[in-house]
Amino acid sequence: MRHEQRSLFGEILDWMLTPLLLLWPISLALTWFVAQDLADKPFDRTLEYNAYALAELLTVQDGLVRFDQAQSASGVLRADESDVVYFQVLAPSGALLAGEADLPLPPPDDVPASDQVRLTNAELHGAKLRAAYIWMHLPQIGNAPALVQVAETRNKRSLLATDIIKGVLLPQLFVLPLALLLVWLALTRGIKPLHQLEERIRRRKPGDLSPLDDKAVPIEVAPLVDSVNHLLDRLHESVATQKRFLADAAHQLKTPLAGLRMQADLAQRQGGSADELKQSLQQIGRASVRATHTVNQLLALARAEGGMALMQRQSVDLAQIVTDAVHASVPQALQRHIDLGYDGAPAGSLGAVLRGNATLLSELVRNLLDNALHYTPSSAQAPGVVTARVITDPFGQVLMLQVDNSGPGIAPVERERVFEPFYRALGTQVDGSGLGLSIVREIARQHGAQVQIAALAPGQAEPGVRFTVRFTSGLASVAASPPP
C-alpha cells in the first residue's frame, strides 16, 4: 500500500495555525466576559452612590420613618435615554415609603450588621436589572433597619461591553492575517537550510561519497545528516570492497590463466610426444583446479565482506554446523591420511545456540578445517591429527569453536599476518590461495567474535596450531530457546 507523500512545511503550518484559529474564538469569549465585568464596574459605583444618597434622605419624626423628599430623589437618580431607573424605600415595618412597589426584595437573611451597600441582579416586568440596596439602621428607633434600593436596566452596560468587544475584535481582524503571514514567512525561512542541503546533495558528483557537513545544518536535522553520513561510509566501504575484490580477482586469476594458456600452447605444438601432451593436460587440470578454488575463495570473501546486514540472522546450532562440516571433510582427510575427529558438545546442546547466519558460519568452519587439513603434514606411516570441538558455557556467556592440528605450527610473528589476504606462512609448500583465514576473520567479525591462534604443544618440535573462535554476543537471547 502506497502512502500519500506529505509536506513537512504544510504539516508544521497546520500544527501552528490550527491552535491559533482555535484560540481566537476562545479569546473572543474571554474578552466578552472581561468586557462585561469592566462595563459593570463604573455603573455599579453609580448605583452605590445613588443608594447612599437616597439613604441620607431618610428622616425620623415622632418615632416614624419618613421619606418626604421624592423630588430630591428624582434629582439624585439621573435617568437617561438608554436605561430606566427604579428605586424603593421601605420602612422597618415593611411599609412602602416611596418608589416602585414591585421591585424585588433582596434576600431576607442578607441584613448586614452595618450600613453598607450590596449589589445584586434582579428582574422586573421581564427586564433584567442591576440593583444596589442598603439596610439603613436608624438609631432613633432602636437601630431598626430601613431598606433603600436603586435599580436600573442593563442597556448601557451591554452597549459599553459591545464597544469594548469591538475595540478588541477590530484590531484582531488585522492582526490575525498579519500573524498568519509572519508564520508563513518564518517557516519559509526556517526550512531554507533544508533546501540548501538538498542543493548541496544535488550538486555532488556521482563518485563523491565524502561525508556531508553536519555543522552547516540545524540541530534538528543533524541526526538525519549523521545517518546519511553513516550510510555514505558504509557505501564507501562497500565500493572499496568491490574494487579490492576485482583487483584481487584479476591478480590471482592472472597466474593460473596464464599457466593454462601456456600449457595449451605446449599441448598444441607440433612434434610433441604423447607423454608431453599428457603432462600438459595434467598441468592444465591442476591449473584449472587452482583457478576454481581461487574463484570460490574470492566469492566467499566477497560474500563475507558484503555484511551480515543483507543476510538473515536466525538461531543456529554451532555444534550441528561443525559436525556436518567434519563429516563433509572426512573424504579429504582420508585422502591425506589425517585423523580427523570431533570431541566437543553434541549437536542440540542448549549452550551451542547463537544468532547468526548459518551459511557464513558453515563457510567459517569449512575454511578452518580446510586450512588445518592442507597445512598438517601427514603420511600413512605418520598420520597427522585434526580435531574440531565446540565448547559451551553453562552460564550462556561465551561459546568457543576450536580447531587443532598437529604440525610445525605458526611462528608468533606471523600469527597476525596469516589473516591478510593472499599471505602464506614462509616455508610451506602447500598450494593455496591465501584467502581462507581472511574469510574466517571477516565472518567472525560479522558475528561479533574474535579469532585467536596459539600453539597446541608449546616448546615441542611439532607444536601444532590451535585456532579458537570466541563468540560472546547473540547468546543470551536464545539460550533458553534452542532451534527445533
How many whole angstroms separate alpha carbon 400 and alpha carbon 349? 13
> What's the pTM value of the predicted model, to 2 decimals?
0.48
How many whole angstroms separate alpha carbon 57 and alpha carbon 379? 140
How many whole angstroms separate alpha carbon 472 and alpha carbon 448? 7
User: In this predicted structure, what is the pLDDT of residue 56?
Assistant: 82
State the CATH architecture for 311-478. 2-Layer Sandwich (3.30)
**In this structure, how many other beta carbons lie within 10 angstroms of the beta carbon of residue 404?**
21
Bridge partners of 61? Answer: 64
How many whole angstroms separate alpha carbon 201 and alpha carbon 231? 14
- Residue-by-residue pLDDT tens, the chain, 484 positions: 455 666 767 777 777 777 777 877 887 788 877 877 777 888 888 888 888 888 888 888 877 888 776 566 665 565 566 788 888 888 888 888 888 888 888 876 766 656 788 888 888 888 888 888 888 888 777 778 888 899 888 888 888 888 877 787 777 777 778 877 888 888 788 778 777 777 888 888 877 778 887 777 777 777 888 888 888 888 887 777 667 666 666 655 666 676 667 767 767 765 667 776 777 777 777 667 666 766 665 666 666 655 544 556 788 999 999 999 999 999 989 999 999 999 888 988 888 899 888 888 988 998 899 889 988 888 888 899 999 999 998 777 889 999 999 888 888 888 888 888 766 665 555 555 567 788 888 888 888 899 999 998 887 878 899 999 999 877 744 444 444 4
Q: Which three cell numbers stand for residue 399?
A: 561459546
Bridge partners of 468? Answer: 402, 452
Can you give the three-state secondary structure of 405-428, one letter per residue?
ECCCCCCHHHCCHHHCCCCCCCCC
Decide the pairing of beta strands 144-153 and 314-317.
unpaired
How many whole angstroms separate alpha carbon 85 and alpha carbon 71? 14
Contact yes or no for 221/200 (Cβ under 8 A): no
Coil, strand, or helix at residue 102?
coil
Q: Where are the domains of the chain?
A: 11-162, 232-305, 311-478
Contact yes or no for 260/288 (Cβ under 8 A): yes
Decide the pairing of beta strands 353-356 and 314-317.
antiparallel
**In this structure, how many other beta carbons lie within 10 angstroms of the beta carbon of residue 101?**
8
Q: Are the folds of 11-162 and 311-478 the same? A: no
Block residue for cell numbers 452605590: 48
Provide DSSP, 254-290: HHHHHHHHHHHHHHHSTT--HHHHHHHHHHHHHHHHH
How many whole angstroms separate alpha carbon 464 and alpha carbon 268? 46
The one-letter code for the residue type at 299 is L
Judged on CB neighbours under 10 Å (0-12, 13-18, 19+), 170 is: exposed
Candidates 1.10.150, 1.10.287, 2.40.50, 1.10.3470; CATH matching 232-305: 1.10.287
Angle separating helix axes 436-446 and 358-375, nearest 10 degrees: 150
How many whole angstroms separate alpha carbon 342 and alpha carbon 350? 18
Sheet holding 399-405, edge to edge: 338-342, 384-392, 399-405, 465-471, 449-454
Contact yes or no for 167/39 (Cβ under 8 A): no
Contact yes or no for 119/47 (Cβ under 8 A): yes
Distances (CA, A) of 34 to 28, 129, 364: 10, 19, 81
Candidates 3.80.10, 3.40.50, 3.30.450, 3.20.170; CATH matching 11-162: 3.30.450
